[in-house]
Amino acid sequence: MVVKLYGAHMSTCTARAMICLEEKQVEYELVPINLFDAQHKLPSFLSMNPFGQIPALEDDDLTIFESRAITAYIAEKYKNNNSTNLLRQEDIKESTLVKVWMEVEAQRYEPIIRPITFQFFVAPLFGKKTDQNIIDQNLEKLGKILDVYEKKLRCTKYLAGDYYTLADLHHLPCTHYFMKTPYASLVNSRPRVRAWWEDISSRPAFMKVAENMVYAKN
């Protein structure tokens, strides 16, 4: 049975899972869930994720949710599909540093960058006014985080080391939208962060998924 991913192209969490499926060249089908029709709150979807949020993944008899658990599952189950080594599990130090920087993305980066793109792109879609204060407060915090990234990326090519891993991949969806705002200079003004972004965003797996990542009502 082909892997099924339930989600929506514009969703950053769905995109995170799709980029990983593409990286590991896993055959899959995207089953569209229409957020504007609240299909993610229907019993059929809640049976896959009781919290009612996309995406969910079905693979044989396993059904899981939470995008970062989905990517870890794909990276491990399909590790032998190709040579892209997203978890570095052969070495506990390397795999631990991947986990450290995956936590940085989940706990520090996304909670700051998401409100910016949400206010800029999503609020207007739902007929709400963009709250510039929220944007400004988070831009200031994001600058400080990117200062740490700039310093780290002077020492290693990617966040966890000199190799592309899930820690980098997890940054792609939110940063994709952020780079379309007028605030992209926060990335572009930091040479190492900019080079890192240009590198990871030019990977074919991401480019294929990014083509369809546009905030729109249909």
Residues in contact with a copy of itself by CB under 8 A are: 50-51, 62, 64-66, 68-69, 72-73, 76-77, 92-93, 96-97, 99-100, 102-104, 106-108, 111, 145, 148, 151-152
User: Angle 58-217-125 (CA atoms, 0-180°, nearest 5)?
Assistant: 115
Q: By C-beta, is 52 or 181 nearer to a copy of itself?
A: 52
- Tell me the H-state helices in 66-190: 67-77, 92-104, 110-117, 123-125, 132-155, 166-169, 172-178, 185-188
Least distance (Å) between residue 109 CB and a copy of itself: 11
Least distance (Å) between residue 104 CB and a copy of itself: 7
Least distance (Å) between residue 80 CB and a copy of itself: 13
Least distance (Å) between residue 117 CB and a copy of itself: 17
Closest by CA to 178, choosing from 109, 126, 94, 88, is: 109
Q: By C-beta, is 97 or 205 nearer to a copy of itself?
A: 97
Closest by CA to 4, choosing from 37, 26, 34, is: 26
Amino acid type, 143: G
